[in-house]
Chain A
Amino acid sequence: MIDTPAAAAANPISQIERDTLATMTRTSWRYWLGLGAAASLVALGGWAWSTMLRQGLGVTGLNSPVMWGSLITTFVFFIGVSHSGTLVSAILFFTRSPLRAAVGRSAEKMTLVAILTAGLYPVIHIGRSWLFFFVLPYPNQRGIWPNFRSPLTWDVFAICSYVTVSALFVYMGMLPDLALLARRIGGWRRPLYRLLSLGFSGTDGEWCLLERAYPIFAGIVIPLAISVHSVVSWDFAMTIMPGWHSAIFAPYFVAGAIFSGIAMAILLLSALRRGYRLGRYIKEAHFDLLAKLMLAMSLVMTFVYATEFFMAFYRGDSTEAELFRWRATGAYAPIFWLVVLCNSVVPLVCFWKRARHSLRVLVVVSVVVTIGMWFERFLFIVTTLAHNFDPFAWRIYKPTLRELAVCLGGFGWFVMLFLLLIKIFPSMSVAEIMEGEHASHGEAPHA
């Protein structure tokens, strides 16, 4: 679709252009396969949810006292995934890292998609989904406002702001590209881009504004990102339940979030690189960095696990001690040890340079970590509920197939949205790549 290909072919910069726009211009059968698979997962999940709506939450495995299960697990998991994208991108930006140009955009998109996925689950899991708007603050004839003392209300605000801000963050970074696309890409997308580019035309004045606005925005995004996951962690930490009611939760969740986010980022980036032969832009160096970050986070998680157990037994609170004893040895012990294996042991391979530089190894590790983190969320949610103050009320929870179908639907939804996004918006910042390329050519007299 890029016009005058012959002229462009000679020119290195429009070669870049072609590559960076490749995700949008080239559509292989693999793409359609992936999209189809994702869409069918969404359909499955949708059907499963419809049964929940029609018959009631009884179709799940929930019971008293385990009132939260796999659905909330998935919610927390995707909040986690959403976390690192924006954060990584913003941090790379501030550290002026040359690596950002290639991966930043995809990371931000992942954030956006993940938060859009996570946002579904609170609505899905409540008993009367059709009344979810009761928690929104708007003047209504019921004369009822949300309870601002409830962590769930905090959640609503945190997630809504996060969606908005991270969406704008991607958008702002994309303005120049959209302006470009409005010229380059034809077909149904052209008017869209013309509209979205908001008339950006690359005058020096606009560039100066953008270069000022962007860091400010990045500065806003980072604390927001951290706050979102802290708030989600407070859904648990603000209760009085043993194993939840702990000051370590906010940092613990943030670390876990970045951990799972990095894993997911590695998966998506490697897919992009493989699928669109972007090896030239998404380099070993990127994966090396991500792998190091993942390793660091894995170590943090290990530390947190250890701390939790230490505190539980050190404090001498019998209920909590009993809970953690049970977590490691009780009905959910297999999951516990699986989590330890996935999150604390396997990532250690990233200590080896060769492992960090082998994409195959990294992909495997990332998959392992993703699984590990999902079960980690499952573990701390369920064990606490299943085994706390009143022994008479202790009970085991097993998710039903329909429940799991809804969770899978979430993953399908995640992948589907991402695939659509890369088709509609460039996965790399053309402007930044070009700038980077130019700088790397060396002959910039006053760089």
Chain B
Amino acid sequence: MKTGRRGFLGAAVGTMGAGLVAGCSKRLPRYLIPHVIPPDDAVPGIARHYRTICRECPASCGVTARVREGRVVKLEGNPDHPLSQGALCPRGQATIEGLYSPDRLGTPLTTTGKIGWDAAEGALAAGIKRALDAQKLVVVLTRPELGSVGALFRTWLTALGQQPSQVVTFDAMDRPWLREGARLAFGANANPVPDIAAAKLLLSIGDDLVEEGAVVEQARALADLRAAGGRFVYIGPRLSLTAAAADEWLSVEPGTELLLVLGLARRVLELVGPDAPEGLAVATLRARLAPYDATTVAARTKIGAATLERLARDFLRTRPSLCLGPGRAVAGNNAPALAEAIYVLNAVAGNLQRTLRFLPRPQGAWAGPSMELAELTRRAAAGEVGALIVHHANPHGYGPLFAKLAAALEKVPFVAAFNNQLDETGRHAHLLLPDHHFLETWSDATVRDGVTGIQQAAMIPLLDTRAAADELLVAARSLGKATGLPDGAFGDSVRASFDVKEVERGGKFSEATAASGTLADGALAGAVAALDLAGPADGLPLVVASTLRQLDGLPPTSALLQEMPDPLTSISWGGWVELHPTTASALGVVEGDVISLEGTAGRTELPAHVTIGLREGVVAVPVGYAIPLLDGSPPALGFMTRVRAHRTGAKVAPPHVPGGQSQHGAELSREVTPSRRLPMAPKLPSMNPPVEHPLHRWGLAIDLDRCNGCGACVAACYVENNIPIVGPEEVAKGRDMSWLTIQSFIKDGGDGAAEVSFLPLGCQQCENAPCETVCPTFATYHTKEGLNAQVYSRCVGTRYCENNCPYHVRRFNFFDPKHGPRDSLGLNPDVTVRGRGVTEKCTFCVQRIRGGEEKAKVEGRPVRDGEIVSACAQTCPAHAIVFGDLKDPTSQVSRMAKDQRAYRLLEELNTKPGVVYLARQREKKEGT
């Protein structure tokens, strides 16, 4: 038949209509462009901010999610949240990658393959029903859920007729010895919370405050402590970031930390004499501490008796002092005893209620008795568990460490896993249900009494995922066991439980009330066992080094976190094993040799990094790469074992630090001591007229005394400025694109203790910028606001500027740029994506400056100090970086610029940088 125009149009309309009808579905569709009909209050091009919490680690810091056109483009710390106070760690900054990762699951999976949601819900309900019918246990194995979700698990189990205690928390990076130690020292319900900033002397027994636990809060506290004139002594085998931040780094014979602490406690008790804190059973303690006299301890720990004496005296003299630990690096099978001893030491020195406050255990429907992993392992192995709901937990991922648990879980007839991506446990599960990312769903977390953060859905789910809690509710309803459960969607019930003000602030934050607590009589009653290391007797003690990039104890999966070099070793992409030069030469190993490590649990091969930042006779491996060597008798992850190390003969390109991490006399990262001030800045003549800055002269001040090299600034810079990720080969060639690098210089600080000094180095925004003059095309020039602007479209890539930059902070796009997972959706729309053959560098986040200026203009007022902040300054946990207007004499940055410790890099070149550094303060070493 012949189709006329009308006929054709009719047909077209008809098919279109059909298409529309078919397009509709009762489920939330996957929007490629969100907001086909945008909400009235969403203005394209204007960022919206949602307060929520970061779930990358159990610390659950408060964050602000910046949302552009319905996409979360960056996380920043929530200034109102007591933990973060506006800051965020590198891992939190890298969260975006997980959100937009192409590996995220969009559909439920069974062992046979993808299935629809209806089928999946059916399978879940059926699995649970079988367990219930068979009178077997239904258990929930979950990541720490300190809020609504945790509570829901309990009520849900109750509704199913199970015990609420069948919620098992899985946290590989948990430090149970701390709780255990507290129980031993203070009795059952003690919850000691250190108040680091309040201390004048902090003694850390291998407790890596910057790398373990609530790092943001701890890093800030540590910096505040030192800024207030407090002293920080770190005792541990490895020069970690925390140790680098310390005024003094000591190490004792591995495993003898307990003796050291007891020795200190004994000495302090002697020194304190009559005025011992009341409520202290002095006599009993004396008796129990008697065996640990200075000579014995000094002999066993190989620490000088003089040093021991000095530590004891200082610990008493400079009160309130505080002793923390043990951290993972020194936690062995006597860790609880060590923790107990440390609490005792604090008690003896009278630090209780001053630097060691007791807060009531956080209360809530989610709290209460719950099954331990060990018990779950036992009962699952015994076949008592009929159905297991795994919620963002991955025991199979930890190799031998949780091998027993993993094996036991094999016996469970039905395992349903909720997760964002397919991990090892997911592979072993019978049903895998893709959960929302935490930025897409509602929940909350109470990290300690009085601090409850609200997890707010900041964007519409990217994929066809569903909230785990909702799925459990659906299952319960379909089984007709929904009594006591919320009837609506779970998210709505959470939202309903907070008022708008709280949601806007990001949580409920009230002042924590200090309760009293005293040393229990049973303290130190237990027999003190010296640590005995498992593993081959001829092996070397293994230090499991915590790093920020591996908060979950697994090698990082985020491209950004892998590309970001480790601040101490500047190694990126992959693991390494650290050796002291003497140890290395004993093994006949040089930098870059591949070393085989074998313990009782297993073996692994890693390239060697030879450094003086480690005690002789031990090897250190970052936790993620040490996993294959650790076997799983709790307490997890510590000096569990000795390992045999020998070189395999293979070699890899050594991690690149050509200067050998020495400054070679170049005074880049400077230090001052009470006796040695900085030299006066040279007064240099210039042929040229001074550069005028009519309105602002933007500048940055970096306090090297606060900086602990964590690298949060680097990660923030990557995310904010769409910095390309080039991959391991290119990084090895020295083509990393990072606009901001943490340069770390390590030197022997005398008496064998190494000292690290960091130098966060970005564009110095020079007034007399050498790079500008040489550019033939005006691609870079000095703006009226003192920025060293880079015009990408004008750049032809002569790279002359990079040659003439004495700081080498300019980067060149050797290939077409890639941005890892963010490439698809997660890039910052405010920042140009540079092309191949173009030079780029730090711009002081010019987009943020412009944004701030426009805001001020619209409100018809001058820009306030601290209103405009570069991404690095914004996120710095230690508040080491300050951004502001150097022209305004009252601004914080110009006040810092006038500080006695202030200096500028390579001042003698007369480049007049806009970045001011404040020299690191070091104390004169007393002879030990």
Contact = CB atoms under 8 A, between A and B. Distances in A.
Direct A–B touching in the complex (beta carbon < 8 Å)? yes
Interface of A: 55-58, 61-65, 67-68, 122, 125-128, 131-132, 134-135, 142, 144-147, 149-153, 156, 235, 238-241, 318-319, 322, 385, 388-396
Given A65-B808, A127-B813, A392-B657, A147 B778 contact: yes
A142 B759 CA distance: 39
A150 B774 contact: yes
A335 to B, nearest CB: 17
B668 interface: yes
Contacts of A388: 806
A3 to B, nearest CB: 54
A333 to B, nearest CB: 15
A390 B816 contact: no
A241 to B, nearest CB: 7
Given A56-B836, A63-B733, A395-B734, A128 B803 contact: no
A76 B454 CA distance: 64
A151 B813 CA distance: 23
B110 interface: no
Nearest to A52: B837
B833 to A, nearest CB: 15
A393 B808 contact: yes
A126 B775 CA distance: 12
5 contacts: A58-B735, A147-B773, A152-B798, A239-B770, A391-B660
A144 B815 contact: no
A241 B804 contact: yes
**Looking at chain A's contact residues, is the secondary structure mostly helix, strand, loop, or mixed?**
loop
Contacts of A132: 796
Contact of B812 (A127, A134, A146): A127
B658 A127 contact: no
A392 B745 contact: yes
Interface in B800-838: 800, 802-804, 806-808, 810-816, 836-838
A147 B775 contact: yes
B575 to A, nearest CB: 22
Interface in B411-460: none
Contact of B663 (A142, A149, A153, A391): A391
Contact of A127 (B745, B761, B795, B804): B795
A240 B799 contact: no
A146 B777 contact: yes
Contacts of B660: 391
**Looking at chain B's contact residues, is the secondary structure mostly helix, strand, loop, or mixed?**
loop
Given A58-B735, A127-B797, A127-B836, A147 B776 contact: yes
Q: Give the top 6 A-B pairs by smallest Cβ distance, nearest first.
A: A127-B797, A127-B837, A391-B659, A58-B814, A63-B734, A67-B799
A391 B663 CA distance: 6
A68 B663 contact: no
Interface string B640-664: 0000000000000000111111111
A390 B657 contact: no
Nearest to B737: A64
B658 A394 contact: yes
A154 B58 CA distance: 60
Nearest to A321: B665
Interface in B655-693: 656-666, 668
A319 B664 CA distance: 9
A300 to B, nearest CB: 27
B733 A396 contact: no
A319 B736 CA distance: 25
A191 to B, nearest CB: 41
Contacts of A127: 795-799, 812-813, 836-839
A430 to B, nearest CB: 43
Given A65-B802, A152-B800, A396 B837 contact: no
Contacts of B148: none
B501 to A, nearest CB: 48
A262 B807 CA distance: 39
A391 B657 CA distance: 9
Given A65-B808, A318-B665, A396-B658, A239 B774 contact: yes
A240 B838 contact: no
B30 interface: no
Contacts of A135: 776-777, 796
A126 B799 CA distance: 7
A134 B796 contact: yes
A131 B836 contact: no
A67 B803 contact: yes
Contacts of B773: 147, 149-150, 238
A396 B774 CA distance: 24
Given A67-B799, A392-B659, A393-B808, A56 B813 contact: yes
B365 interface: no
Contacts of B656: 395
Nearest to A65: B808
Contact of A389 (B759, B775, B776, B806): B806
Nearest to A152: B776
B734 A144 contact: no
A86 to B, nearest CB: 26
Given A62-B814, A65-B803, A318 B795 contact: no
B794 interface: yes
B245 to A, nearest CB: 19
B730 interface: yes
Interface string B711-747: 0000000000000000000100111100001010100
Contacts of A394: 658-659
Nearest to A151: B774
B909 interface: yes
A128 B799 contact: no
Contact of B664 (A68, A126, A322): A322
Nearest to A60: B814
A57 B816 CA distance: 10
Nearest to B729: A58
B228 interface: no
Contact of B838 (A128, A147, A149, A319): A128
Given A127-B838, A395-B734, A390 B666 contact: yes
Given A61-B733, A63-B735, A322-B664, 10 more contacts: A56-B836, A126-B837, A127-B795, A128-B796, A128-B837, A235-B800, A392-B668, A392-B759, A393-B659, A393-B808
A235 B774 CA distance: 8
B797 to A, nearest CB: 2
Nearest to A393: B808
Contacts of B815: 55-56, 58
B405 to A, nearest CB: 44
B514 interface: no
B906 interface: yes
A359 B665 CA distance: 52
B814 A126 contact: no
A152 B658 CA distance: 30
B795 A128 contact: yes
Interface string B173-190: 000000000000000000
A153 B734 CA distance: 29
Nearest to B736: A64
A58 B657 CA distance: 21
Nearest to A387: B658
B802 A67 contact: yes
Given A135-B796, A239-B774, A390-B743, A64 B812 contact: yes
Contacts of A239: 770, 774, 803-804
A61 to B, nearest CB: 8
Nearest to A331: B658
A68 B803 contact: yes
B778 A144 contact: yes
A240 B804 CA distance: 6
Contacts of B778: 144-147
Contact of B806 (A128, A153, A390, A396): A390
